[in-house]
């Protein structure tokens, strides 16, 4: 892999597709009404074909019940003003259909199903606008760069300083030129790790920095509660995902939207973990719903044009921060869920423009860099691809993915087979996440400190360990350094085998790397996880957040080398 950050001669990437009119997302937005209608029809037909275990009436009753609970128990400002009355009307019409003869009842139920799907399709569909995109792109690039300079240039002058650009802050590692070439050959689907609210904005900047056309991506409907955020999300190609809605009708409509957008050639962004990692661990179990749409879209492409079908490429992306601003909230959520009655804490999420603006300001004015690793492209079966988009087996031989979809000489639909393929793809993405994870000094100092505490207290469970008293949270520096060096040596060996990345700040002399890591880990939090006192002792000030940062190195079996 080649490093594309911290360079004197900065790479300036040209637009892969210079004409906005040729961007797939622009074509989609021009024909939005027709596309939404197409989504509704495809979702309706798919639902009728796939919903065999339960009747349409049962599905409708379940949907109405869940939607009424949502409206009553968890309403959002962004919800339609007629939400309550709409679902009451649907319930009434469904009740009245019971008095009809079987044929009329079926017709009435299908009509209600189609109406609900049309409502969902309109809600989900993005509303990309070229003029808004241009403004959002300039604003984000300018605004972020100015925030970076606020840490170096004090006062109002920071807003006008050209001292730093955003690519001074972000180390872009991996295969940028490879990804640019794939974007010319087919449809790129980026699948990043997800740790922070900053991730979506960061990946958006990476996409435009690389000169790629804008990607579509699913944004939580809750973000549309805030008007200024909603404006930028809409402008950057988002479609809406409401995670409160778990009913099969909504999920089928969402899945169909993603599949059809991919078939239209729209580059896409999925967070396969679903939500931010509450534990701080790299994702080990992925949400396969939207990921499965890549398999389905590729199969349909082969069905319609076996000889020259457009290919879909999966690009794993790993984001690394020294600290995550939301870490205390996230780890508390995780511990509460894991421990149930053994652990309770109040939530304190971001819910306003002010909180989000403060979040961004505090992050960018800290002197801490970011690493983004672009993995090598894969096909939808998890095979690596070359710059021409050809799929390669483990020996580097070219293979044709169409063969995986053929039965008796024809491309066929086999849902069970495709479910297995998506599990294989999910496993491959997890493997790539661990391979392309770039270990920071901050990650290793947190892992070292927490593991020393576990070694000192072998009989304590996690929750007892987190409640240790202050006098038990002092670590001898020399002992700490010895363990740190052993673990780092193991990471070096894994790095040589191509199983993990090593950041420059971890390669410094041991004392320097340790101090750099402790300085940066959790540097924003009111209670720092680790500090070094005047007596050269390492003190743990917050075991919860230390546990969160420790978790970043779970999955590498480092505990065997303590």
Tens-digit pLDDT profile for residues 130-174: 877 877 777 666 665 555 554 444 444 444 444 445 566 678 899
Inter-residue contact 320 to 371 (CB < 8 Å)? yes
d(CA 155, CA 134): 29
Outline where DSSP puts E strands in 323-425: 370-374, 391-392, 398-399, 406-407, 410-411
Assign 162 to helix, strand or coil. Answer: coil
In the prediction, which pLDDT does 49 show? 87
In the prediction, which pLDDT does 477 show? 96
d(CA 311, CA 399): 13
d(CA 208, CA 141): 9
Inter-residue contact 146 to 161 (CB < 8 Å)? yes
Contacts of 284 (CB under 8 A, 6+ apart): 430, 555
Q: Work out whether strand 268-269 and strand 398-399 pair parallel, antiparallel, or are unpaired.
A: unpaired
Report the first-to-last Cα separation within the chain, whole angstroms.
30
Inter-residue contact 361 to 158 (CB < 8 Å)? no
| pLDDT tens-digit profile, the chain (562 residues) | 333 444 344 677 899 999 989 999 999 988 999 999 999 999 999 999 886 668 999 999 999 999 999 999 999 888 999 999 999 999 999 999 998 999 999 999 999 999 999 999 999 998 888 877 877 777 666 665 555 554 444 444 444 444 445 566 678 899 999 999 999 999 999 999 999 877 887 888 889 889 999 999 888 887 777 777 777 777 777 899 998 999 999 999 999 999 999 999 999 998 999 888 999 999 988 988 889 999 999 999 999 987 788 999 999 999 998 888 889 999 999 998 887 656 644 444 555 555 556 656 665 555 557 889 999 999 999 999 999 999 999 999 999 999 999 999 999 999 999 999 999 999 999 999 999 999 999 999 999 999 999 999 999 999 999 999 999 999 999 999 999 999 999 999 999 999 999 999 999 999 999 999 999 998 878 889 999 998 899 999 999 999 999 999 999 999 998 8
DSSP classification of residue 15: P
Inter-residue contact 54 to 243 (CB < 8 Å)? no
In the prediction, which pLDDT does 352 show? 54
Nearest to 440 by CA among 388, 514, 387, 380: 514
In the prediction, which pLDDT does 160 show? 47
What Rg, from alpha-carbon coordinates, does the chain have?
25
d(CA 545, CA 269): 29
In the prediction, which pLDDT does 204 show? 82
Tokens representing 16? 């892969």
Tokens representing 53? 């275990």
Nearest to 447 by CA among 326, 331, 553: 553
d(CA 129, CA 141): 18
Query: Rounded to two decimals, what is the model's pTM?
Result: 0.88
d(CA 322, CA 302): 43
In the prediction, which pLDDT does 518 show? 95
């Amino acid at each position: 892999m080649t490093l594309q950050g911290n360079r004197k001669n900065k790479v300036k990437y040209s637009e892969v597709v210079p004409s906005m009119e040729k961007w797939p997302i622009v074509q989609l937005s021009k024909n939005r009404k027709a596309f939404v209608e197409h989504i509704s029809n495809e979702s309706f037909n798919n639902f009728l074909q796939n919903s065999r275990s339960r009747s349409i009436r049962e599905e409708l009753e379940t949907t109405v019940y869940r939607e009424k609970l949502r409206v009553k128990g968890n309403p959002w400002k962004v919800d339609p003003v007629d939400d309550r009355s709409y679902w009451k009307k649907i319930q009434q019409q469904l009740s009245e259909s019971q008095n009809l003869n079987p044929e009329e009842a079926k017709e009435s139920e299908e009509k209600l199903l189609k109406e609900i799907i049309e409502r969902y399709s309109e809600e989900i569909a993005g509303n990309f606008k070229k003029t808004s995109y241009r403004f959002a792109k300039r604003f984000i690039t300018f605004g972020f760069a100015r925030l970076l300079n606020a840490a170096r240039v004090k006062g109002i002058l920071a807003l006008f300083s050209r001292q730093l650009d955003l690519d001074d802050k972000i180390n872009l590692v991996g295969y940028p030129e490879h990804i640019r070439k794939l974007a010319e050959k087919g449809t790129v689907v980026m699948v990043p790790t997800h740790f922070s609210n900053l991730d979506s904005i960061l990946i958006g900047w990476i996409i435009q920095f690389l000169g790629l056309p804008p990607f579509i991506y699913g944004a939580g409907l809750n973000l549309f509660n805030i008007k200024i955020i909603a404006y930028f999300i809409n402008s950057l190609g988002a479609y809406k995902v409401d995670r409160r809605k778990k009913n099969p009708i909504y999920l089928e409509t969402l899945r169909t939207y993603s599949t059809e957008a991919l078939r239209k050639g729209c580059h896409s962004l999925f967070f396969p973990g679903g939500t931010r990692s509450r534990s701080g661990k790299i994702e080990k179990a992925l949400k396969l719903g939207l990921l499965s749409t890549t398999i389905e879209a590729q199969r349909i492409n082969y069905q319609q044009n076996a000889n020259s079908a457009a290919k879909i490429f999966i690009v794993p992306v790993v984001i690394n921060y020294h600290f995550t601003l939301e870490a205390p909230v996230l780890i508390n959520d995780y511990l509460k869920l894991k421990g149930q009655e053994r652990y309770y804490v109040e939530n304190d999420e971001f819910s306003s423009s002010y909180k989000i603006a403060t979040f961004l300001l505090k992050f960018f004015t800290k002197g801490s860099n970011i690493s983004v690793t672009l993995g090598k492209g894969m096909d939808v079966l998890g095979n690596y691809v070359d710059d021409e988009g050809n799929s390669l087996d483990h020996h580097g031989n070219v293979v044709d993915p169409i063969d995986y979809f053929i039965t008796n000489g024809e491309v066929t639909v086999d849902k069970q087979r495709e479910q297995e393929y998506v599990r294989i793809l999910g496993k491959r993405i997890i493997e790539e996440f661990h391979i392309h994870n770039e270990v920071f000094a901050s990650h290793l100092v947190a892992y070292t400190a927490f593991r020393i505490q576990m070694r000192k207290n072998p009989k304590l469970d996690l929750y007892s360990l987190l409640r240790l008293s202050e006098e038990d949270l002092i670590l001898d520096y020399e002992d700490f350094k010895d363990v740190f060096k052993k673990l780092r040596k193991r990471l070096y060996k894994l790095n040589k085998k191509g199983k993990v990345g090593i950041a420059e700040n971890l390669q410094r002399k041991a004392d320097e790397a340790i101090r750099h890591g402790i300085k940066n880990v959790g540097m924003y939090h009111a209670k720092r996880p680790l500090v070094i006192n005047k007596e050269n002792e390492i003190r743990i000030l917050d075991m919860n957040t230390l546990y969160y940062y420790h978790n970043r190195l779970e999955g590498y079996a480092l505990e065997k080398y303590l």
